[in-house]
Amino acid sequence: MPTTIDGPKAIRALRRADPVLGDLMKVVGPLRLDVKSTTSVFAVLSEAIVYQQLNGRAAETIHARVLAACGADLDGLTARMVLRTSDEALRGAGLSGAKLASLRDLAAHDESGELPTIADVDAMDDDEIVERLTAVRGIGRWTAHMFLIFRLGRPDVLPIDDYGVRRAFGLVYRRDMPTPKELAAHGEMWAPYRTVASWYLWRALELP
């Protein structure tokens, strides 16, 4: 799904608010935020749980095995699939005990109606979505922020726990890497386009 962020408008506003960030934007160029189509909150979060603390190839392999163990296709898992699959099968697919517990908790939240659907999140503000998602075992604030940015295209999200954003901030502003609290304080000037500022900071790490 395409981002709903007005890139040129956001860039103009951020350049006025923060000239240092504005200089970075001139070097990087236009906003190219890729927002992925999402039909299932459960499928996205279950994939996030599997991928935690793994590199790309290993995570892809284990995720494919979990899908196969549950009888799912590439559209992703459902709570019913997880609940009817044994612990032994899921552990055999490569899930650690902690990830298995998280996946079970996610399925329980979905079955009870506590996990919002895509239709639900469309009517929810960012803070409410973060609160609902982080109620699930193994889903932290960083994962919720990534969901807001790369699945929903929300324009004003600052992932203050993201190491890359914090490291890039230190490089761009020629200072020590900020704490999450310090980054949040500086980021107030970027509202309501903190997602755009974050995207440009990520790009700073790719520059020579």
| Position 99, amino acid | K
Query: Distance between alpha carbon 159 and the CA centroid of its chain, in Å?
Result: 9
CB atoms within 10 A of CB 181: 8
Average pLDDT over residues 92-117: 96
Q: What is the pLDDT of residue 4?
A: 72
Predicted confidence (pLDDT) per residue in 18-45, tens digit: 999 999 999 999 999 999 988 899 999 9
Q: What is the pLDDT of residue 173?
A: 97
Q: DSSP characters for 5-26?
A: --HHHHHHHHHHH-HHHHHHHH
Q: Cβ-count burial of 137 within 10 angstroms (0-12 exposed, 13-18 middle, 19+ buried)? A: middle
pLDDT over 90 at 155, yes or no: yes
Share of the chain above pLDDT 90, in %: 90
Q: What is the pLDDT of residue 1?
A: 40
Q: Which of 170, 79, 159 is nearest to 126 (CA)?
A: 159
Average pLDDT over residues 2-22: 90
How high does pLDDT run on average in the chain? Answer: 94
Structural domains in the chain, CATH included, are: 7-32+156-204 (1.10.1670.40), 41-150 (1.10.340.30)
